Structure formats: structure tokens, C-alpha cells
Chain A
Amino acid sequence: MKPGLIIETRNLSYRFGNQLVLDQVSLNVREGSIYGFLGPNGAGKTTTIKVLLNLLQTEKGKVFLFGKDLNKNRIEILSGIGSLIEQPAIYSHLSGKENLLNRALLLHVNTTRVNEMLDLVNLTEHANKKAGKYSLGMKQRLGIALALLHDPKLLILDEPTNGLDPNGIIEIRQLIRKLVEERGKTIFISSHLLSEVEKMVTHIGIINRGKLLFQGTIEELHNVSKKHLEIQTNDLVRSRELLCKNGYQAEILSDTILIPYLSEKHSAEINSLLVKYDHKVYSLTVSKQNLENLFLSITQI
């Protein structure tokens, strides 16, 4: 077990019948981080989370949480985790407060925590309303309150912003930041959209078809991003033909020509070539692929 890690999986594999859903996934989640677990639908995110919560039994590989083997310390480990898996599990015939009171009863938690949690997720006003009549955003917030009730160190959230409108997404994002900054929680959050978590996460893991394709900080992900030379000329089609004839990998994207960036000298040569053949060069800039495109390109491998 590496020091400072709150979640560590070693070569985790899982099969549904003949289908390999997780293929040697080795996660490293540091204490105090917000770890964005990204991947398209069906990539293996929920399966990974269910393995972390011992809902699915591991076939190959090891799972350590808080430095302990999950299979040998299930209850102790789960007492440090709060989770929200897929849709929030809520009794619709009970009010929001009753849902929390029931969970408090079950986990032997002081009922004073109930009002505190309602306040934290901004549901105090709607505490006595039937949870079945809550909006999706309110249900998600109640789900987070339920997950936080026993004051866990680690919060595992599976697509908590799924189906929410922009305001709902912002509310969840603010709540997650607050939990880390004010309450020192570690958050493991899955999503299929990088843009939804990009602004709040400190670390990212990208999974596709059961394989962990990238893991590191946001900065490390930026560094993986390839630089491009973006060129604007008076005639993009002719300019592209010229560049391709001279051995450059040029392609047109919207109103620019994209060429993989190699060096400043290489950029100057391209500029000279275009000018030499009477192409009017309006701009020539070096740009990085944005993270969303990078995420898409990684997951399309």
C-alpha cells in the first residue's frame, strides 16, 4: 500500500459472463483529492464503484481502501465511505427528513446530524415534503446528504450530475468543493463528461472498455495534450493541398488548418512555404488540444 492513498486497486479485473468489464485497473486515489473518474457510458465506471463498495466480488486483483484489504475488512472500510450509486436510493413514501432519520437510526448516528445535513445540502425548507415529489436535483442532494450522514472520510459519487440542469450541476459542484475545502473529505466522482468535472477535480482517471487509459493530475493531462499549429489563410483548401504535397499532415478544421506542432523552426518553414506560393497567411498560432477533445481522443482509442 502506497502512503497517502485512500483508494488503491491492483490489477482489478471483472467479468460479466464472457464480457471483460474491467481489465487490470490500478487506481490510485490520494487522500484529500477530488478524483474525477471519467469514461463514456459502459466504460466500466459503475462496475469499478460497485467493486469498491464490495457490491461486486472481485475475481482478479486486490482492492485496498484506507490501507486495508476490502475483502477482509468490509464493515470497517464501509464505515468510512459514503456513496451515491447511479440514481439516489430514496424511499419515496417518506419525507426527505424521514429518509435521513431512518438512515440515522440504521447507522446509529445522532439525529442532530439530520438537520445539519439538510442544511448542508439546502433542503431544510423541503425537509417535510415527500421525497417522491422532489425534483431530480433535490433527490441527488438528498442522496449526498444520506451518504454524508455518518461523516465518512471518503465520498464515492457515481454520475451525481446525470440528468441535472445547469443550475443543478453548479449546485452539486459547489457542494463538492465545500465538502473538500471545509470538511476535508476525499471525493471520488464518476462522470461521462469531462466538462462537468474538469473545473472541480484535482486528479483524473480515464477509463474506456474496462482499461484505465490515463491517471494523473489535471496538469499532467494537459501535458499529454499534443500541440498544434493553427493556420488561417485566404484559401484554406489550396493551402492544405500545398502543405500536403510538401509532406505535412495538414487538415482543415472549421476555418483553420491544423498541423501537428514540432518546433519554432518547423513553423517558420511552413510560413515561408505558404508565402513563397502567394498564399496570404492571416495567422499562425500554436495551440493545445482542449481537454474535452483530448478526452474524446483518448476514449476513442
Chain B
Amino acid sequence: MALLEPLFLAAALPRYAAIYAAVTAAALTCLDLRRVSKSFPGVRALQDVSLSLSAGEVLGIVGENGAGKSTLIKILGGILRPDAGELLIDGQPRIFRRVRDAISAGIALIHQELNLAPALTVAENLYLGKQPHRGPWWFPVTNRRKLCQDSSLELERVGLSVSPRAQLGRLDLARQQLVEIAKALADQSRILVFDEPTSSLSGPEADRLLGIIEELRRRGVAIIYVSHRLGEIQRIADRVVVLRDGRHVGTLSKSETTHDRLISLMVGRRLEFADRQGSAIRREAAGLEIKNLRLAPNSPEINFSIQPGEIVGFAGIVGAGRTEVARAVFGITRRHAGEIRVHGQVVRIASPVDAIRAGLALVPEDRKSLGAILPLSISSNVSLAVLGRLGRAGRYNRRAERNVAERFRGLLGIRTRSLNATVLSLSGGNQQKVVLAKWLATEPKALILDEPTRGVDVGAKQEIYRLVQQLGQRGMAVMLISSEMEEILAVCDRVLVMHQGAIAGELTGGDVTEENIMRLAVGGVDTPHPNEVAANGTR
């Protein structure tokens, strides 16, 4: 053995040299990702992505929905393991098998959804899992005094002035977020990964957070900042990495970072879509018209109308308020104010029952928890919304149920061995077809689709697009909420873009381009205040 060792070392020498070089080249480089790839069934989420990060640097990461940002963050946080590629911390290759590994390597994720216990105090949250205590190991007693003193120091570092004894759940979201940052710092984290940290903060709160991040940078913390808000990225990032379709498509230094450059990199150029059939928009009373809709007393007013035969896309970043509008229209959540007209008639909608009676249908965004009843059979699911109409006097008519299911199985091409199979046993695409069938069975006048192709394979996607277009041809008014740019471009006659709960703008004809949509979706610098646009956002 001893004889072999020098040989072994010699063979490994080039590698050691490379590591040595890397360490000396930048004593500052604390995080290095090399050619990282990750695939999910049917999707290549990340492909050969490399990036590096130094202490005292803020690295911005931008990209459209589905560009691979979340996957990247999850890999950094030890939630996902990459299929290929290397992750180096301070020049040492590391493999994160679980979240704990990432934390011990000094990486902390600051999420949109906070990882805190709202029922505990601020101090207890800061030291969750490592509370200072006294007494023997088998009877640890919390050292309250030390807990509070230490917490006060940590809270000061992030400029938060709340009592360590305050219950966390009683703080507002901005303060809770600061607690989470303080917790990360208390964990000795040197790399903080912010995932859309300002998405639920008000303007001044977001400002304050950015100030704190700048302060952390001065103190040598390395920061990754992922956001849709390009203004924030421009303000805070020393470099910006742009991801598109899972690839690293460019890195811009601070001086190169302009709104337009970012957007054009994010969007790239894509293949043109299969030719659209002529649109079948009918100029008569609107199929679905929403007037002065407000979700809450001080939320922006929303107005739009969809003609029979028209497919209107609702674009925007995740959380822009599109799903909320759909739910309010369908009577699932309460509206503060607003009028809904279907084919010109004012309809009262206080529950989904009313919505269905008024001729609306909603394919909700989360198929598994809201759309289908997975343990029930395909026929039961397809007939669920029309069961009352099928039978006479409340009688459950199994034959009619089968007939409906049989008809839509043929119409939509639901591929299954038997209609008695549970929906659980179907593929994502076929599950979604079952949900669509359920709604088409109600013969709606207007159809609301919320992310209808999420988690659906490519073939089924094409079938669903074709179906939606056919429905348009037959005079259905379709509201299509989608975060997939291609879907919006391929299927829609007109696009409304939402930003922070308001309709930020409307695009028609040649103006429907990815660049324009992105510009409006991220709250473009050259657009007027959303509230002003909302008033003109309808025709």
C-alpha cells in the first residue's frame, strides 16, 4: 500500500494543482457551481449551469417562470440533488444530501414562505434547535436570560427593534422576514440566498430590506438575490446571471445591466408557433365582462371583457393576482365590489353553484387538490358538476353518468383502459383532460383556465391547445391564465398582463411579444402607475 501512494499522488497532481489555483485565484470565491444539471420527468430544469459567488458580493439571478431559478435555489439549499455537476464551497467540493448539509456549509435560504414557527417567540425562533440551556444533558432547562440577550444582539444586526419575547406570528411579514435573516446569520451562514424576498412587502418595507442587504454585503456576506423585480436587481446586484430554459444564457456586470438587456436575454428568440386559424371573435355582447372588480377595499380595480369566441391570455409573474381574480369571479372567494356579466346579463355569483348556473366554468390551477377527486373513478369525476342535471328528481343515474364520460373520453381523447379506473391512475395530461371534461359537460358560456397545462406532457399540451382553440371557434369566451409564455403567444387573441394585483396593460396583434409581456409583468420602468393603466385596460 505504502508503495502505491506516491503513484496515486502523482496521478492526482493535476487535480490538486487546479484546486490550489482556484483557491489562490480568489480567496474570496466562496461558492462555485460547475456545470450543474437537473432533470425531472419530461423536463430539463437545469443544463450545465455554472456560476460563482464571492464574499461581499450580491449576485442577481433573473429568468422567466420556469427558467430554472427555483431548481437552482433548491439545489443550493440541499432540497434537490443535481444529476450532474459540482458544487464547491471555499474551493472544496461538497455534496448536499439533505438540508442540514447546506446549512452546515453556511448557506441559508430566505424564502417567500417563511420557515418559522409563528406560535413561538422571536428569540425561540432565532435559536430553534440550539437553544442555550443549563442543567445536565438529560434535563436541559432553557436559559431564558441568555436566550434573550443573544437574540437582542442578533436582532440589532438586522436593524430590527422588537422584543425577543414577542410572539413571532404577531409581527408583520416584513419583520418576520428580518427575523429569518437574523436566524440565518445566527446560524453562522455566510451565503444568503434570497428567493423573491420582496414579493409580499410594501414599497418602503422592500426598500428597507434592500438597505439591510447592502449592509450585509459590506460586512462580507455573500448574497444571491433572485427576483422578478428588475428594478431591485439593477439597484442591488453587482453581477446578474440570466437563466432561460434551464441554461445560463448570460452574465451582466453592474454597468451592463439595463432593463432592456435583461429582458432580451430572459426572453431570447424562440421558434414561431404553428399558424393560428383565423380568429372567431364575435362582435356581440361580451361573453364574460368584469366591471369594477375589487378583491379588497383598497385593492386596484379590475375591468375586462371577453367576447364570445375570444381567447384572452392573462400573463404576469407568479403571484400577480391572476388566480385571485379567477377565484373571485367564480365565487370561491368573496369580492369586495364588482359586477359580472355573462352574455350581457348581470349575474349574481356568491358561490361556485351560482357561477355554474350563470354559465361559467373554472379549471383551477392545482389539479390534484382542487381540480380532480383523485380516488374516484373517471366517470364520477367527469359527471361531478352535472350529476344533478343527469338524474331525475335527485336520482343518481349511472347510465347517464357513463354516457357523459364515454362521450368526453372520445371527444378529448382521454386515454384509459376503463372509465372505472381512478383518476389517480392517469397521467398528468389525462387527469387534466378529465377536469376539462367535467367542465365542458356543464356546457359553459365562458371558460376560465388557470394554468391548464402545468405538469402536463408535451403531447397532451398540444391537444389541450387545439381543444381550447376549437372551443374558441365554437363561440366560447375563454380566459386563459398562464405563466408559460409560449402558451400565451400561441393560443391567445389578446393578452392582459397583471402586475401586483392590477391589470398593468393590454397587448393585441403585433404587440403581443415576449418582450412587451415581460416589460409589463415586471412593472416596467416606462409604464405609468398600474392603477392608471387599469382604467384603460379594457376595450
Q: Do A and B come from the same complex?
A: no
Hey, which bits of chain B sit against chain A, CB under 8 A? none
Residues in chain A within 8 A of chain B (CB atoms): none
